[in-house]
Amino acid sequence: MLDIDHFKKINDTYGHLEGDRVLKKLGQLLISQSEKTDLVSRFVGEEFLIFRPNTNRDDMLLFCKKLHVLMADIVIGTISLKGSIGVSFFSERMTFDDVFTQADSALYNAKELGRNRTEIYSNN
């Protein structure tokens, strides 16, 4: 789960049309970086979901690191786009709701720890 950090500032400073352009650019970026088996979707507001089946922790962290770098190349006026990412992994007996809840928790953790970072869900 990816959420654009301080998206309200973009809308407030440059207007909602520019905010919409940013969302489209980010969506295009996510699709361009996805694999054939990935599912990329805008969820709500400035949040996106990326389902990447059959990946491991190290590969997912590399993918997220790459997204952070590429997002920073999207510049709106004086604002360089940044985002927080929360990651969860499916395991046996988990439902979609379980994975979603865990990714959401990891996303909030990323925001609490300073934003513009990736956190992986841990139940510790």
- CATH number of the domain where residue 87 is located: 3.30.70.270
Into how many domains does the chain fold? 1
Check residue 78 and give its pLDDT: 87
Active site residue 46: yes
Average of per-residue pLDDT across 24-30: 96
Check residue 98 and give its pLDDT: 95
**Considering the chain, what percentage of its residues have pLDDT values greater than 70?**
99
**Residue range of the domain that includes 40:** 2-120
Instruction: Tell me which residue has tokens 């407030």.
Output: 12
| List 18, 35, 46, 112, catalytic entry | 46
Average of per-residue pLDDT across 83-107: 95
Q: What's the pLDDT tens digit per position in 74-86?
A: 999 888 999 999 9
Q: Using H for helix, E for strand and C for coil, what is the string for the chain? A: CEEECCHHHHHHHHCHHHHHHHHHHHHHHHHHHCCCCCEEEECCCCEEEEECCCCCHHHHHHHHHHHHHHHHCCEECCEECCEEEEECCCCCCCCHHHHHHHHHHHHHHHHHCCCCCEEECCCC
Q: Given pLDDT bands bounded at 50, 70 and 90, which one contains residue 124?
A: low
CA distance 14 to 69: 23
Instruction: Estimate the crossing angle of helix 16-33 against helix 7-14, to 10 degrees.
Output: 140
Question: Rg for the chain (alpha carbons), in Å?
Answer: 14
Greater confidence, 50 or 77?
Answer: 50
Check residue 123 and give its pLDDT: 79
Check residue 95 and give its pLDDT: 93
CA distance 115 to 82: 8
Greater confidence, 91 or 32?
Answer: 32
